[in-house]
Amino acid sequence: MATAKELKELSAEDLKKRADELRGTLFQDRLSMRTGNLDSPEKRTEHRRDLARILTVLGEKTRAEKAAKKA
């Protein structure tokens, strides 16, 4: 996945799309883990970290937009 620096260049709309996709992927990972078909537990950890990174950047963008509106 992309680094935080690369994610900051994306629009809020793109970040929301990626977050939704990762949430779906995490759901599939959870199902696979429950059924014993999860190939690589490291992938699940990677997906969780990617989602957290995206949500962090998205939050920063949202706060920056609110601050710009106040100014």
Write the pLDDT tens digit of every residue in 15-68.
999 999 999 999 999 999 889 888 888 999 999 999 999 999 999 999 998 899
Segment (H or E) for 44: helix 41-70
Residue 24 DSSP SS3: helix
Which pLDDT value is given to residue 1? Answer: 66
pTM of the prediction?
0.87
Q: Domain residues of the chain, as ranges?
A: 41-65
